[in-house]
Structure 1
Amino acid sequence: MHSRNNPLPPVVQGLRSGCCPDPEPRRDGTPGRHLIRSRHYKNVTNDDGHHVSAGEDRKVPWVAIAPVVHAIRVLERIVPDGELLFSSAHHDFINHRGHYGVLKGKNLKQRIEDFVAWANREALVQGLPEQTIPADPLGAIGLARFRRTLAWHVARRPGGLVALAIQYGHMRSVLDARTSSGYGTRSRHGIHGVLDVETALAAADTAARLRERIASGEKISGPAARRALTAAAQTPRFEGRIVPKTFTKNSTAFLARDGVVLYDNPDAFLICAFIHDNALCEPELGATAPRQYDCQPGCGNTVRTDTHARLLRERAGELDQLAASAPAPVGRRLTANAARLRDTADIHDATAQSANAIS
C-alpha cells in the first residue's frame, strides 16, 4: 500500500489544493456530495505499454465524508492554490526544505507523535483523562500502522468492503475470489491480506460471543444452529492483537473453511454460518464470506440467539416511533417493516432451543 521510506500512498501524495471543491446544490436544494479528484500512477501505461510516470486523472472520484473535507480545508490554508497538500516546501518547518516534493515518512511520523502529545494535554486540561491516548508498547504509531486500523473497521461492518471499493478503487465484491489486480492485490503487503487478518479476527470474536451467550443460558435458532455451535466450540479465541507476518497466510486458510466460519451481521440481526452453496446472497465463485449487505430471509446459513430476538423487537419499536411522525406512505412501509421484524423475533422464540437440546 505504501513504501517503507514514504508511507503516504502515491494517490494521496498527488492531492493538490482545490482537489475537493464545494459541490453545487442538487435540484431539490439539498447540498451535493464533496468529490475528491486526483491522479493515480500504478499500472498507467501509454499505447506502447510503457509506464507513464506522470500518471493520469482518476476516472472515478472519491466521495469525501465531512472529516476528510475538513482536513483538506485545513491543508489548503497552509499551501498556495494548486500546490501539493503535503508539500515539503510549506510543511517542513524544521529543515525548511526548498525543493519540490511531499513530506517524507520521518516528518509525518513525528507529526503523529506531536498530535498524540497535544491530544493528551488537551484531554487533561478538559478534565477527560479517560480520553487520553495510551502509550503504545510497540513503539511509535506511524502511518503504516493506520492501514490495520482502517481494516479493523472495514472488516467489522456488513458491506464495508463495498465502501472500500468505492473509496479506494479496488472494485472488488465483498470478500470475493479476488479477481482484481494491481493496487491492493493479494501480495503480503496488499490490503487484501490485511483484510483477511482482520476478518479472521472478527470471525473469532463472533464465535467467542456466541459461546458466551450460550454459556449464559441463551437459546439459539436457525437452520445452521447446530453447525454454528460446532464452529464456536472449535474456533480459538485470539487474545490481544499482536499478529505476526505468518498470520496472513493462516487467516486466509482459516476463512477458507467452508461451513465453520461465523460472520456477525448486526444490520440483519443474525450470525451467518457461511456455506457457499447454501448462501442465498449469491456470493461470487470461490468467495469465502457472504455478501453481508445482501442478506436474504430464509437462508440456510442463518443463526439467531435470544439477543438477536431482543434487538429485533427494539428496532421494531424504533420504526414504529418513526412511522408515527412520517408521511402516510412512508409510515405504512415503516410499520410493515416493524411487523416483519417482530414476526422474525416470534419465530425465534417459537423454535429456539438450548445448546444441550441441539447437541
Structure 2
Amino acid sequence: MPGPETLVVLSQWISPGNTYYNARYCEPVWPLAPLIDGPAINLVKMHWRNCPVPLLDQVKPAAWTMINGRLRPTYLQKRGARARARTSASDMRGTCNEWMRLARWLHERRITTLGDCTEEVWRAYISERWQGGVTRGHAEKVCTQLTDLWAFDQLNAHPTGIARPPWDTEGFDDFLPAGAGSAGGENSTEPLDPQVLGPLLVWAIRFVDDFSDDILAAWAERQRLITVATATRASPEGLAGLAEFLLPRVRSGEGLPSVRMHRRRRLARTYISALTGSSTHQVDHFAKQHQLCDLANERPGPCPLQVQVTGLIDGKPWREYMDFDEAADLMRHLGTAAAVICLYLTGMRPQEVQGMRTGCCPDPKPADDDGTPGRYLIRSWHYKNVADDDGNHISAGEERNVPWVAITPVVNAIRVLERMVPTGELLLSATHHDIPFQRGHHGALKNGALNKRIEDLVAWANHEAQSHGLPDQVIPEDPQGKIGMSRFRRSLAWHIARRPGGLVALAIQYGHMRTVLDARVSSGYGSRSRTGIHSVLDIETALAAADTAAKLRDQVAAGEKVSGPAARRALTAAATTPRFEGRIVPKTFAKKAAKFLARDGVVLFDNPDAMLICAFKRDTALCEPDQEANAPRQYDCRPGCGNAVRTDTYARLLRERADEIDQLAATSAGPLGRRLKANADRLRETADTHDNTAQTAKAIA
C-alpha cells in the first residue's frame, strides 16, 4: 500500500527524458504528465477535491494501483483483443473521474464505504446514471470503467470488498440504454462537404505556395524591428527623429501607425521606435505629451514593412504591402493552412500529423538511372493501439513501419513548416506556433487549438475572397457542423480511390491494409458499427461506377461503337444506372452504396490502365476475386475476360500507347527492344479486333 510520501507514478513507468513533476500520494492533485510522451496529448490531472472525504481513502488506492499496476491476464482474456493491461493517462483520468462520480452518488445516500456497494446498489446506480442521457456506446465504456474499480480493488493489499458489478457476469445488454443509431468514434464522423473542402483546400494551398515567402519575410522583418526597438536607448537624436516622423502626420490628418490591442487601435510604439531610432519609453512619453493614444484609435494607419510582395491572387498582388501588425496573424494562418493540407492529402490521423518533425520527409534519391526522382515518403510516428509486448499502452507511439506517400502540396506544406520551427522540432510545435509569445507549451498544438485556428483561417479567407471580388471562393458553412481535424481523414481523396488499385493504395496510406474491399472480414476497424472504412470505400467505389456508366452512356450517344463479350450487359447497366449530380454524400449513403455494388454483373468499373471497362461479374472474372467481392481486382486485369468492354476511345488510346512504346523500342537494344515491339504489336492487334467487332448500341440491342 502507498504511503503519504509515495510517488504517484513509480519510476518504472516514466520514460527517460520525461521531466514533468511527479506528485506525492498525499497531494490533492495528481498530475499524470509523467506518463505522457505523445506530443498531441493534453497533460491531464486527477483532482481529488471531486471525491467526498469519507470515500477518499478508498478510491485513492484503487487509482494508484491503476496508475502503477496492471490488470490480470485472466481478467483481460474475456474482454476482447482491444483490452489493455495498462491504458493511457487520459483513459486513467476518465476512469478515475467516473469512480469519483460513483463516490459522490454513494455519499449522497450516506454510504461511506465501497464495501457497502453491493449488487443491488450497482443496479440502482447504473439505472440512475443513464437518466441524464448518454449514448449506448458511451454507456458501455462507463460500465467497463466501473468494472475496473472492482478489478483494481482486487489487486490492493487491503481491498475494500466492493461487489462485482452484475453486468460483468450477466452481460452489458440488459444494463445499457436503448440504442439510437450508430456508435460514436471515428467511423461516425461525417466527411466534410465538398463545397467546403474545395475552397478551403484552394486557400490552404494558396497560402503555402503563393503567400508563404511574403509572410515569412514579413515575420522576420517584424522580429528584427522588435530586436532593434528593444536594444535602442533614449537619445536626443531619437527624440528628434520621433518628432520628424509623427508630427507631420498629426498636422496633415494622416493616419498614425497603429496596432490592435484589447479591441482598440493603439500607437505602434515598437514599430515607431525601430523606425525612428528612439526608445519605446520616448515613444510613450511623446504620445502622452501630444495626446496621440486616442488619436491613433480615431485615425489608425498602417505599419508597412520593407518587404517585397510577390504573392498573387487572380493575377494581382495579394497585398499592397506587408504590415507589421498583420504579420503575426498571417504566420498563424500559414501554419494552419499547412496543417490542413497534411490532414487532408496524406490520410494521417490528427495525432500523426501532430507528431511529424523536421526532416520527416527528405528529398528522395533518384529511382532510376535516368535521374527520375523517387517518391517523397513521410517517415514518422503513429499512436493508435500502440502497445508493448505485455499489452501496455505506449504513450510515445512508435515509428510507422510503412511510410506515408507525400504528393507535391504536402511536401510544400512540410517545407514551409520546417521554415517555421527549429531543426529537430515538431512541425506543429505548440511553443513555436504560439505566435508571437512562444510561452513554452507542451508538445504540438492540440486538437482544440487547431480546430479554433481552422475556423479563424476560414473567416480570414472569406474576408479576403470578398475583398478581392472572388465570391466563388468563399468557404460556406458545413451542413454537418464545424470543421474538425478528424473530419479530414473521413473525406477520402476520391481521385486516389478511383484509380485501378487505388483502394489498395488508400488502405496502405490510411494504415488499414486488411480493409481492402476483397478482405471484408474480421479486422477490428472493419467490424465496427458501420463496417468501418469499408463503408467509406463502398461510397467511393459506387460513385466511381456511376460516373463510368454515365460516361459510357454519353459516349454511345455521341456515336461511339462498343465491343467485347460484356458489351450488351454494359449498355444495359449504362442505361439503368442513375447519374450522380454532385450532391452531398452523407454517412447514410453507405448502405445505398453497398446495395448498389451488390448488383453482380451490372456494375461498371473503368480501368484506364487496361484501357477497357469491366462489367464486373464474379463468376466470369479472370482476376479471381474473393467469393464476396463486389469489385474486380483492377490491378490484375487479364486479356480474354468475359467482363471486358471496349469503346472507340479506348481503341484509339491503345494505338497511341503502341506508338509511344515503339519510340521506346527504337532506343532500346537487344531483348528489351524486341519485347517492347511485341507489346506494341499486341496493343494494335487488340485495337484492330475492336474495330472489326464493334457495333453501335442500336445494333447490339
1:12 paired to 2:12: no
1:313 paired to 2:655: yes
- Where 1:91 maps in the other structure, the secondary structure is coil
Q: Which runs of 5+ in 1 are unaligned?
A: none
In structure 2, the CA distance between the partners of 1:236 and 1:276, relative to structure 1 (3 Å rule), is same
TM-score with structure 1 setting the length: 0.83
1:83 paired to 2:425: yes
Structure 1 CA distance for aligned equivalents of residues 490 and 674 of structure 2: 43
- Where 1:175 maps in the other structure, the secondary structure is coil
Bigger RCO (CA 8 Å, 6+ sep): 1
- Where 1:263 maps in the other structure, the secondary structure is strand
Aligned 1:168-207 pairs, distance under 5 A: 168-172=510-514, 174-179=516-521, 181-182=523-524, 187-188=529-530, 190-207=532-549
Give the helix-richer structure, 1 or 2. Answer: 2
Q: Which amino acid aligns with 1:76?
A: E
Deviation at 1:261, TM superposition (A): 0.8
2:696 is aligned, of 330, 354, 357, to 354
Deviation at 1:303, TM superposition (A): 0.6
Structure 1 CA distance for aligned equivalents of residues 503 and 589 of structure 2: 21
**1:50-100 C-alpha deviation (Å, 9 max, x unpaired):** 433332232333344554344323222222233221122212327856421
Q: Which amino acid aligns with 2:430?
A: S
Aligned 1:276-315 pairs, distance under 5 A: 276-315=618-657
**Other-structure match for 2:441:** 99
- The Cα RMSD (Å) is 3.6
Identity over the aligned pairs, expressed in percent? 67
In the alignment of these two chains, the number of paired residues is 353
Deviation at 1:342, TM superposition (A): 1.0
**Other-structure match for 1:52:** 394
In structure 2, the CA distance between the partners of 1:114 and 1:338, relative to structure 1 (3 Å rule), is farther
Structure 1 CA distance for aligned equivalents of residues 641 and 657 of structure 2: 21
Structure 1 CA distance for aligned equivalents of residues 442 and 378 of structure 2: 23
1:113 paired to 2:458: yes
- Where 2:614 maps in the other structure, the secondary structure is strand
The worse-fitting range, judged by mean Cα deviation, of 207-216 and 175-184 is: 175-184
In structure 2, the CA distance between the partners of 1:274 and 1:206, relative to structure 1 (3 Å rule), is same
Q: Which amino acid aligns with 1:213?
A: Q
1:227 paired to 2:569: yes
Deviation at 1:142, TM superposition (A): 6.1
Structure 1 CA distance for aligned equivalents of residues 647 and 398 of structure 2: 51
Aligned 1:147-158 pairs, distance under 5 A: 147=489, 150-158=492-500
1:159 paired to 2:504: no
Contact 2:504/2:516, CA 8 A, preserved across alignment: yes
TM-score with structure 2 setting the length: 0.45
In structure 2, the CA distance between the partners of 1:238 and 1:309, relative to structure 1 (3 Å rule), is same
Contact 1:222/1:303, CA 8 A, preserved across alignment: yes
- Where 2:395 maps in the other structure, the secondary structure is coil
**Other-structure match for 1:37:** 379
In structure 2, the CA distance between the partners of 1:148 and 1:214, relative to structure 1 (3 Å rule), is farther
Structure 2 CA distance for aligned equivalents of residues 214 and 101 of structure 1: 58
**1:154-204 C-alpha deviation (Å, 9 max, x unpaired):** 222111123223333221475213336345766549443222212111110
In structure 2, the CA distance between the partners of 1:92 and 1:26, relative to structure 1 (3 Å rule), is same
- Where 1:272 maps in the other structure, the secondary structure is strand
Structure 1 CA distance for aligned equivalents of residues 606 and 359 of structure 2: 40
Q: Which amino acid aligns with 2:566?
A: A
**Other-structure match for 2:606:** 264
2:560 is aligned, of 215, 218, 233, to 218
The worse-fitting range, judged by mean Cα deviation, of 29-38 and 190-199 is: 29-38
The worse-fitting range, judged by mean Cα deviation, of 324-333 and 75-84 is: 324-333
In structure 2, the CA distance between the partners of 1:26 and 1:233, relative to structure 1 (3 Å rule), is closer
Q: Which amino acid aligns with 1:249?
A: K
In structure 2, the CA distance between the partners of 1:180 and 1:322, relative to structure 1 (3 Å rule), is farther
Q: Which amino acid aligns with 2:395?
A: S
- Where 1:350 maps in the other structure, the secondary structure is helix
In structure 2, the CA distance between the partners of 1:261 and 1:163, relative to structure 1 (3 Å rule), is same
Structure 2 CA distance for aligned equivalents of residues 114 and 180 of structure 1: 43
Contact 1:184/1:192, CA 8 A, preserved across alignment: yes
Structure 2 CA distance for aligned equivalents of residues 186 and 309 of structure 1: 44
Structure 2 CA distance for aligned equivalents of residues 32 and 314 of structure 1: 26
The worse-fitting range, judged by mean Cα deviation, of 277-286 and 325-334 is: 325-334
- Where 1:303 maps in the other structure, the secondary structure is strand
- Where 2:413 maps in the other structure, the secondary structure is helix
- Where 1:90 maps in the other structure, the secondary structure is coil
Contact 1:185/1:192, CA 8 A, preserved across alignment: no
1:240 is aligned, of 582, 594, 613, to 582
Contact 1:92/1:107, CA 8 A, preserved across alignment: no
Structure 2 CA distance for aligned equivalents of residues 228 and 97 of structure 1: 63
Deviation at 1:24, TM superposition (A): 6.6
The worse-fitting range, judged by mean Cα deviation, of 45-54 and 81-90 is: 45-54
Deviation at 1:281, TM superposition (A): 1.2
